[in-house]
Chains A and B, each alone.
Chain A
Amino acid sequence: MEVAQETLTTPAPKTAVEVSGSVALLEALIVEGVDTIFGYPGGAIMPIYDALFDYNDKLNHILVRHEQGGIHAGQGYARTSGKVGVVFATSGPGATNLVTGLADAQIDSTPVVCITGQVFAHLLGTDAFQETDVINITTPVTKWNYQVTDANEIPEVIAKAFYIAKSGRPGPVLIDITKNAQIQKFNFEGYTPCNHIRSYRPKPIVRPQYVEEAAALINQAKKPFIIWGQGVILGSAEQEFKAFVEKSGIPAAWTVLGAGAIPTDHPQNVGMLGMHGNYGPNVLTNECDVLIAIGMRFDDRVTGRLDKYAKQAKVVHLDIDPAEIDKNVKSTVPVWGDCKETLPMLTKLVEEKQHTDWLNTFNEYTRKEVEAVIHDELNPTTPEMTMGEVIKQLNEITKGEAIIVTDVGQHQMVACRYAKFNNTRSNVTSGGLGTMGFALPAAIGAKFGAKDRTVVAIIGDGGFQMTLQELGTIMQSGIDVKIIILNNRFLGMVRQWQELFNERRYSFVDIQSPDFVTLASAYNIPGKRIDDRTDLPNAINELLSTKGSYLLEVMVTKENNVFPMVPQGCSVAEIRLK
């Protein structure tokens, strides 16, 4: 530590102070409003960690057990707080362990800034110890990345990193800092956040004529249908979206990442789209006359077979990313722009209506789905418990106020289908990449991002075993995360596909697990396993009322399937109820 901290941090010093690159980095993070860093030290990032030792009171560092856990925690933090998640890792294996999380953050538009240490600049390209070409490795999975080899670059590069990560369509940024730049002293003239980069235009200019054309189409429509995605949440446009939905009277359905932007029980919320979405919104996508897509990217899990997707409909697509317009589905009217800006313009021009008959059509389909699928899933008469009834019980106790973090697989789809969300930023899941192992570390981050809220991680027995070492992080940092393992003793989603499409050839999906409760106990985390539904209410009450973390393992039916389902290669209208 070269200078007294009082002389640094905000406001920026008027005269230059000689500091190391590491100190300049930490000063920059403080000005950017960073309060929590998830990370793991190592040789090439030691100068930064050495400086961090003196910043304990300003920067809370959470020592994870694996860098993948670090970045998923950063993602969870970003998703619940709306701020940028920050992750530290060392060079070589430390950096490569971030790749899965970077890819996940890239596809789910999560703002994360990763700082990796790198070998000394003079060793670059020599196959030095723990050297990897992290910039080239991470180029396809970052919104931007940059290698710093001189401490003088640090303030400006960090400012750019934060600006790029959080502006426009958010995404992950990786800054690789060579060890010499971390150590090097330079004249630090203070830190100014970035608000403009010449070559970078985070938001396209809104073209009012397109908004007018969109409004005209919507006003003429007999069967308009809104489908919304995470863009509404990322743009903090929940209120603007609600105003549009309510004035227009149009039924609205959501993608997995859009969940919670308006409450689950909102009368115009007609459910979830996609492969395991609700019956009505999927079928009626192919019957609406105007499809209004807001902040969503027509992922293949949502559209099913593209050549049969909403062919009858005129499509209005609102998106901040021009590259998403016409990428998968051709739009009739593209509305480029930030939906926080475009939605109020559109709301102003749409006529106040109630599409009662059309909305009732969705309700008819819901009734059909309840009868065929939902009733039995939530109120089973079979001896073994279903995943759905666990979620139902959780809803009853949390009243839709909890943050639900899910892993990937059957439990994820069940949780997304049945969990109730009263609030935005409550559904944290790996939507685009489908990363097993995401939930436990993401829940850790989610709790730091929303300290006053209850965070429940719902995880399958397979995914839990991918990153269960993060129980150590929970133990050491005293984090309050409620963990529910839905254990069906299978890699359930793959098994479901094998059952439906591979003549029940269950190839390597029968997975054994350790005693999760004993394992949690080894980390000083209390827990319980139940396999009788009469124990379920008390067990969930105990989970939620116990101070600190708790692990509840629920043994559920082995061979249960998630329905409805749009089989791959089929149209959304061909969704199967069983």
Chain B
Amino acid sequence: MSNQDIEKQEFNITVYTENQIGLLSRIAIIFSRRKINIESLNTSPSEIDKIHRFNIVITESEEVVRKLVRQIEKQVEVLKAYYHTNEDVIWQELALYKVSTDVIAEKVSVERLLRENGARAVVIRKDYTVFETTGHREETDNLINILQPYGLIEFVRSARVAIIKDSDGFNRKLREFERLEPGEDVIENEYLNQGEKVFTM
């Protein structure tokens, strides 16, 4: 194993962006151009109206991640990008498991299974049951291993979502940016949360 491999670890990249068609592709290209595999990518609205938040997980050295984040931040519609180790964030993944109701009812102590794995039944139908669990990868993997012998029909896991432990939220940060680097037409600052009424495109 080379030194570079040893340095590699999981990093959570958090990107605040305008909600813009094509931006996902622009960000994805930054990784693919450098032959870096995105292990998990989630995009969703953030706490600020019209601002989206990307959570991207990659395994790389910190030096590479730092450079990537600067390249991401260069994109016109990106407001801010951060990177954190797993220790710096609270993160979760959601998993759904579909199993045959007959099999599970007959062969498994469902109540125990749910309790031990922090899972819950989302849908119970005659033909199948869907369980849900959230947690870290090893936790959601664990339930796969348990259900596999009972004919797990289908499994899906979401991308990772992560909250940065040491963060006051982006709203304040954004206002601070605007204060430090106002546009010439500073009146925009008053309407930060009015989205398209001010920032139409």
Question: Do residues B76 and A197 form an inter-chain contact, with CB atoms below 8 A?
Answer: yes
In the complex, chain A residues whose CB is within 8 Å of the CB of B25: 136, 139
Question: Do residues B67 and A327 form an inter-chain contact, with CB atoms below 8 A?
Answer: yes
Of the candidates B21, B76, B182, the one whose C-beta lies within 8 Å of that of A143 is B76
* Distance from B79 Cβ to chain A, minimum over Cβ atoms (Å): 5
Which stretch of B38-46, B139-147, B161-169, B183-191 is in the interface?
B183-191
B 39-83 binary contact with A (CB < 8 Å = 1; else 0): 000000000000000000000000000110011011011110000
In the complex, chain B residues whose CB is within 8 Å of the CB of A156: 200-201
B36 contacts the other chain (Cβ, under 8 Å)? no
A 176-208 binary contact with B (CB < 8 Å = 1; else 0): 000000000000000000011111110001000
In the complex, chain A residues whose CB is within 8 Å of the CB of B6: none
Minimum-distance CB pairs A-B, first 6: A196-B183, A323-B70, A199-B79, A195-B184, A144-B76, A200-B76
* Distance from A380 Cβ to chain B, minimum over Cβ atoms (Å): 45
Question: Do residues A201 and B22 form an inter-chain contact, with CB atoms below 8 A?
Answer: no
B18 contacts the other chain (Cβ, under 8 Å)? yes
A and B contact pairs by CB, cutoff 8 A, 20 listed: A135-B22, A136-B25, A139-B22, A140-B33, A143-B76, A146-B201, A153-B201, A164-B76, A196-B183, A196-B184, A198-B79, A198-B188, A199-B17, A199-B77, A199-B79, A200-B76, A200-B77, A201-B177, A322-B73, A323-B71
17 additional contacts, CB 8 Å, given A156-B201, A325-B70?
Answer: A135-B22, A139-B25, A143-B76, A146-B201, A147-B22, A153-B201, A156-B200, A195-B183, A196-B182, A196-B183, A197-B183, A198-B79, A199-B76, A199-B78, A199-B79, A321-B74, A323-B67
B156 contacts the other chain (Cβ, under 8 Å)? no
* Distance from A487 Cβ to chain B, minimum over Cβ atoms (Å): 38
A201 to B199, CA, bound (A): 15
Look across to chain A and name the residue whose beta carbon is closest to the beta carbon of B72.
A323
A499 contacts the other chain (Cβ, under 8 Å)? no
Known: A153-B201, A198-B188, A205-B181. A139 touches B70 (CB 8 A): no
In the complex, chain B residues whose CB is within 8 Å of the CB of A198: 18, 79, 178, 183, 188, 192, 199
Look across to chain B and name the residue whose beta carbon is closest to the beta carbon of A196.
B183
* Distance from A202 Cβ to chain B, minimum over Cβ atoms (Å): 10
Interface size in chain A (residues, C-beta < 8 A): 28
B26 contacts the other chain (Cβ, under 8 Å)? yes
A135 to B22, CA, bound (A): 8
Instruction: Give the secondary structure class of B's interface.
Output: mixed
In the complex, chain A residues whose CB is within 8 Å of the CB of B79: 198-199
Question: Do residues B201 and A205 form an inter-chain contact, with CB atoms below 8 A?
Answer: no
* Distance from B78 Cβ to chain A, minimum over Cβ atoms (Å): 6
* Distance from A295 Cβ to chain B, minimum over Cβ atoms (Å): 16
A157 contacts the other chain (Cβ, under 8 Å)? yes
Question: Do residues A140 and B200 form an inter-chain contact, with CB atoms below 8 A?
Answer: no
Interface size in chain B (residues, C-beta < 8 A): 31
In the complex, chain A residues whose CB is within 8 Å of the CB of B123: none
A326 contacts the other chain (Cβ, under 8 Å)? yes
In the complex, chain B residues whose CB is within 8 Å of the CB of A195: 183-185
A24 to B26, CA, bound (A): 28
In the complex, chain B residues whose CB is within 8 Å of the CB of A143: 76
* Distance from B123 Cβ to chain A, minimum over Cβ atoms (Å): 35
In the complex, chain A residues whose CB is within 8 Å of the CB of B90: none
In the complex, chain A residues whose CB is within 8 Å of the CB of B181: 201, 205
* Distance from A370 Cβ to chain B, minimum over Cβ atoms (Å): 41
In the complex, chain B residues whose CB is within 8 Å of the CB of A140: 29, 33
A 144-164 binary contact with B (CB < 8 Å = 1; else 0): 111100000100110010001
In the complex, chain B residues whose CB is within 8 Å of the CB of A326: 66-67
In the complex, chain A residues whose CB is within 8 Å of the CB of B74: 321-323
A199 to B17, CA, bound (A): 7
B1 contacts the other chain (Cβ, under 8 Å)? no
A 520-541 binary contact with B (CB < 8 Å = 1; else 0): 0000000000000000000000
A145 to B201, CA, bound (A): 13
In the complex, chain B residues whose CB is within 8 Å of the CB of A144: 76
Look across to chain A and name the residue whose beta carbon is closest to the beta carbon of B32.
A140
* Distance from A197 Cβ to chain B, minimum over Cβ atoms (Å): 7
In the complex, chain A residues whose CB is within 8 Å of the CB of B201: 146, 153, 156-157, 160
B105 contacts the other chain (Cβ, under 8 Å)? no
Look across to chain B and name the residue whose beta carbon is closest to the beta carbon of A142.
B26
A201 to B174, CA, bound (A): 12
A 318-330 binary contact with B (CB < 8 Å = 1; else 0): 0001110111000
A164 to B78, CA, bound (A): 13
In the complex, chain A residues whose CB is within 8 Å of the CB of B184: 195-196
Question: Do residues B76 and A139 form an inter-chain contact, with CB atoms below 8 A?
Answer: no
A146 to B26, CA, bound (A): 12
In the complex, chain B residues whose CB is within 8 Å of the CB of A164: 76
A199 to B26, CA, bound (A): 15
A157 to B201, CA, bound (A): 7
B 4-37 binary contact with A (CB < 8 Å = 1; else 0): 0000000000000110011001100100010000
Question: Do residues A199 and B18 form an inter-chain contact, with CB atoms below 8 A?
Answer: yes
A144 to B77, CA, bound (A): 9
A197 to B71, CA, bound (A): 18
A164 to B76, CA, bound (A): 8
In the complex, chain B residues whose CB is within 8 Å of the CB of A205: 180-181
* Distance from B82 Cβ to chain A, minimum over Cβ atoms (Å): 14
Look across to chain A and name the residue whose beta carbon is closest to the beta carbon of B17.
A199
* Distance from B185 Cβ to chain A, minimum over Cβ atoms (Å): 6
In the complex, chain A residues whose CB is within 8 Å of the CB of B33: 140
A325 to B70, CA, bound (A): 9
A201 to B192, CA, bound (A): 16
Within residues 76 to 109 of chain B, which ones have a CB less than 8 A from any CB in chain A?
76-79
A199 to B192, CA, bound (A): 11
* Distance from A21 Cβ to chain B, minimum over Cβ atoms (Å): 16
Of the candidates B22, B67, B178, B182, the one whose C-beta lies within 8 Å of that of A136 is B22
Question: Do residues A322 and B18 form an inter-chain contact, with CB atoms below 8 A?
Answer: no
Question: Do residues B67 and A139 form an inter-chain contact, with CB atoms below 8 A?
Answer: no
A 377-418 binary contact with B (CB < 8 Å = 1; else 0): 000000000000000000000000000000000000000000
In the complex, chain B residues whose CB is within 8 Å of the CB of A145: 22
A136 to B178, CA, bound (A): 31
A 411-453 binary contact with B (CB < 8 Å = 1; else 0): 0000000000000000000000000000000000000000000
